[in-house]
Amino acid sequence: MSEQELKALRVRIDSIDEKLLELISERARCAQEVARVKMKELVEGEQPVFYRPEREAWILKRIMERNPGPLGNEEMARLFREIMSTCLALEQPLKVAYLGPEGTFSQAAALKHFGHAVISQPMAAIDEVFREVVAGAVNFGVVPVENSTEGAVSHTLDCFLEHDIVICGEVELRIHHHLLVGDTTRTNSITRIYSHAQSLAQCRKWLDAHYPNVERVAVSSNAEAARRVKNEWNSAAIAGDMAASLYGLTRLAEKIEDHPDNSTRFLVIGNQQVPPTGDDKTSIIVSMSNKPGALHELLVPFHENGIDLTRIETRPSRSGKWTYVFFIDFMGHQQDPLVKAVLEKIREEAVALKVLGSYPRAVL
């Protein structure tokens, strides 16, 4: 390409950027107006609701449907995700708690869902994420709930039994693990590999094949594994991209997870109910009496009303009341007439029913 052509294209890019700049600023001013209207319409004692997950899901879906290319739908939606995130920060800077430390997949999930304009706050344990949300110290929390290879995160499920909290959204994150080393690591003398127990399990076959005699040490998070490697010449860590860049580590081997479609589902927890979008999920906890056929009885209303179950999990109960506890996710919103009918039927049969929330299905 000649210098002349390049110059002309750059002039065009500059002029497009100017238009983008004006349009993005106009959008941001609009968001400020939205905030003003929301404040104006408050009745006494009411708190304004700035973050509207149902509206965000609708916008992102529409962008993906109308995307003319050549950028892919996900890439385009990610750009709009960030524009909305910064617009929302003008209305209200959101505080979001996640399972820390910095660099964990939970943080990556929080930023994927809310965009980078939120204030993300690392917590030492899943239970702390719940407590911060309940106490109102943060607006939302992001907690892992299931992994496609390793199954349910039982600690998160137990927290739902203990806390009164609303599920406001879900995030799906593809989990890629890398074997990471520091500048001073002697790669031929690795005697120890650190990672979170779940990640070690997700890379079990790869480790058996490549590092059969190396000690595997489970630590509290992948980011903690990456942090330790920084100071030890004989160890490596299994962790993801965020932890690698946070601690300046190099990838000795990439994407070492045993299942290439390894992904983790996270839930967004908060204190606000989310209106329907037309493409929603609902999560409930049900306890049935300890009698034969109880699970069958519980599932029949879903089948009869043609409602798709997306997940069912059983946990031991914590009290006499919660004899058998089932965590159930299904398609639909609690305001849909069919879902209402199912919930009423279950309420009649169950020892207890707790609706954890209805929320838009993950868009990104």
Ligand X SMILES: O=C(O)C(=O)C[C@]1(C(=O)O)C=C[C@@H](O)C=C1
Catalytic residue annotation: 264, 266
In the complex, the smallest distance separating the C-beta of residue 31 from ligand X, rounded to whole angstroms, is: 5
> Is the torsion defined by CA of 144, 150, 151, 152 positive or negative?
negative
The residue behind tokens 């939205």 is 34
Asked if 55 is part of the footprint of ligand X (rule: CB under 6 A), the reply reads yes
Asked if 57 is part of the footprint of ligand X (rule: CB under 6 A), the reply reads no
Give me the torsion for CA of 271, 308, 325, 221, rounded to 10°.
-60
Residue closer to ligand X, measured from CB, 32 or 314: 32
Stretch binding ligand X (CB under 6 A), from 86-94, 139-147, 183-191, 208-216:
86-94
In the complex, the smallest distance separating the C-beta of residue 46 from ligand X, rounded to whole angstroms, is: 15
Tokens standing for residue 170: 């879900």
In the complex, the smallest distance separating the C-beta of residue 50 from ligand X, rounded to whole angstroms, is: 6
Give the interface size with ligand X as a residue count (CB under 6 A). Answer: 12
By CB under 6 A, name the one of 77, 84, 157, 239 that touches ligand X: 84
Distance CA 177, CA 338 (A): 41
Contact 153, 147 (CB under 8 A): yes
By CB under 6 A, name the one of 52, 192, 255, 354 that touches ligand X: 52
Residue closer to ligand X, measured from CB, 166 or 346: 166
Contact 302, 352 (CB under 8 A): no
In the complex, the smallest distance separating the C-beta of residue 81 from ligand X, rounded to whole angstroms, is: 10
Residues 20-49 contacting ligand X, CB under 6 A: 31, 34
Stretch binding ligand X (CB under 6 A), from 83-91, 174-182, 202-210, 284-292:
83-91
Q: What are phi and psi of 58, to 5 degrees?
A: -65, -45
Which amino acid is present at 12?
R
DSSP state of 48: P
Q: Which residues contact 107 (CB under 8 A, 6 or more apart)?
A: 98, 100, 120, 122, 242
Which amino acid is present at 220?
S
**Helix crossing, 3-40 with 73-91: angle to 10°?**
50
Residue closer to ligand X, measured from CB, 57 or 97: 57
Tokens standing for residue 296: 């069958």
Tokens standing for residue 61: 């879906």
Q: Nearest-CB residue to ligand X?
A: 87
Asked if 95 is part of the footprint of ligand X (rule: CB under 6 A), the reply reads no
Distance CA 294, CA 314 (A): 13
Residue closer to ligand X, measured from CB, 57 or 173: 57
Residue closer to ligand X, measured from CB, 9 or 49: 49
Asked if 87 is part of the footprint of ligand X (rule: CB under 6 A), the reply reads yes
Tokens standing for residue 188: 């031929």
Which amino acid is present at 117?
A
In the complex, the smallest distance separating the C-beta of residue 313 from ligand X, rounded to whole angstroms, is: 30
Contact 152, 127 (CB under 8 A): no
Residue closer to ligand X, measured from CB, 55 or 311: 55
Distance CA 276, CA 126 (A): 28
Q: Which residues contact 292 (CB under 8 A, 6 or more apart)?
A: none
Contact 284, 340 (CB under 8 A): no
In the complex, the smallest distance separating the C-beta of residue 91 from ligand X, rounded to whole angstroms, is: 6
Stretch binding ligand X (CB under 6 A), from 51-59, 65-73, 124-132, 251-259:
51-59
Residue closer to ligand X, measured from CB, 63 or 219: 63
Asked if 88 is part of the footprint of ligand X (rule: CB under 6 A), the reply reads yes
In the complex, the smallest distance separating the C-beta of residue 63 from ligand X, rounded to whole angstroms, is: 11
Residues of the shown chain interacting with ligand X in the complex, contacts defined by CB under 6 A: 31, 34, 50-52, 55-56, 59, 84, 87-88, 91
